[in-house]
Amino acid sequence: MSQDVFGVGLLALGASTGCLLLALNAGRKRRLLDDTPVSKALGVFVGEVELEGACVRREPFISYLAEKPCVLYSWSVREHWRRTRQETYTDDKGRTRTRTVVDTGWETVASGGETAGFYLQDETGYVWVDPRGADLETLTIFDREVDRYDSLYYDKGPSDAVEGSTGERSFTEYGLPVGTPLFVRGRASERPDIVAAQIKHEEKADMFIITPRKEKDLSDGKATAFVLWNLVGAAAALGFGSLLTAASSRTPSVVGPLIGLLFYALAAGAGWVWMVYNSITGLRNRVRQAQSLIDVQLKRRADLIPPLVACVQGLRAHEASVQTLVAALRAQAGGGRVAAVAPMLVAVAERYPELRAQGAFDELRKNLVETEDRIALARAYHANIATFYNTRLQRVPDRYVADLAKMQPEPPFVADGFERQAQKIAF
């Protein structure tokens, strides 16, 4: 009997340990959600990011049941059945008897859907999102139960029926209609086809979530899971202590449960310190990464803008010389010697078939605006995540772990050096 009790005790210990690990994982993910600022589409850089925007596609799918334009959807048709069978059993007098049993249930008779990448759009631009491998949450866009007399029964469902069909079908469709506000949390990387960011499944990503819910709802859910798993783990630890007492002594005692609860509290405390330390360390590393991203954008401005300005200046000088030459030729033509200047006009037209200075100026202006926007977004991201980090260092009880690790607040970013100066443009 004691061996059985010992085996059950080991199961209780394993359950307690598993619940503690699940609780710590929920707490870690909540901290990741809370400690990552929401980025703008134009300011998405390589690394862990959070985005909010509307899902769009150039060529949206038309869902099968609701017939709505969607970025992805899935549908199913289930049919209700009722079947009878004969069951053999033994009654209370040991006699073998048979009885008729009626079983009911639902069976999927048709299903389908379409899934592909889509863009997440906000006021600054677009980011490509590949939903494969994500923790994907969708909306219910169609849900109806009908009988055979409803036109939907055969229009969208198969013509044949399952065995024992009751003539009832359930039509359900889930999806993300175009324009649905989404929250996306994942790891951004460079697209292989163009110079732009994308968010897709990566093994080293902490989380990859696509959901129409708000970030706060996700964070609150993780906090609830953290508390509930700890409560279940503590109950399992109490059971483990009780079983140990029962196996070692015939006299019930409260010492065993208290010891089990004490061990769980010590393990939970050590796990919490480990979770907090890793969380603050990861946040500090993201602050440093955010600062390096500002340097990347400033370096991009220093490398990109001067050549663009030089190019536009060359086009401007080229166009000015052509316009001067054409004006001179027109003046000569006004004097009556049109035939004499005709070959020169043809030569100018062949040599300079198109003047592009205005387009070059527009492209330069676009690059200037986008570059400064990128720098501003990078600095705003750094300021936000540095604020999160500094707040963690000051918040009780996190500050005690930070003090033990001798972590220091992150100073605000200060630009210095010639590469960090605004580009002077003159024509």
pLDDT for residue 183 is more than 50 = yes
List of residues 6+ apart from 74 with CB closer than 8 A: 111, 112, 113, 115, 138, 173, 174, 175
Tokens of 360: 């070059």
Mean pLDDT of 44-72: 93
Mean pLDDT of 139-167: 94
∠ CA 422-291-391 to the nearest 5 degrees? 125
Q: What is the pLDDT of residue 384?
A: 79
**Token match 């009880």: residue?**
397
Query: DSSP state, 168?
Result: E
pTM as predicted: 0.75
Continuous H helices in 249-356: 255-334, 338-351
- Cα separation, 158 vs 153, in Å, equals 8
pLDDT category at 53 given cuts 50, 70, 90 is very high
Tokens of 66: 């609701």
Q: Which amino acid is at 202?
A: E
Mean pLDDT of 171-182: 97
pLDDT for residue 22 is more than 80 = yes
Query: Which residue ranges make up each domain of the chain?
Result: 2-32+220-274, 43-213, 282-420
10 Å Cβ neighbour count for 362? 12
pLDDT for residue 208 is more than 90 = yes
Mean pLDDT of 113-142: 95
- Cα separation, 319 vs 322, in Å, equals 5
Continuous H helices in 181-214: none
Q: What is the pLDDT of residue 268?
A: 94
Residues 330-372: pLDDT tens digits?
A: 666 555 554 555 555 555 454 544 545 556 556 666 666 677 7
Residues 270-325: pLDDT tens digits?
A: 999 999 998 888 888 888 877 777 777 777 777 666 666 666 666 566 566 656 65
Residues 360-408: pLDDT tens digits?
A: 556 666 666 677 777 777 787 778 788 888 888 888 888 888 888 888 8
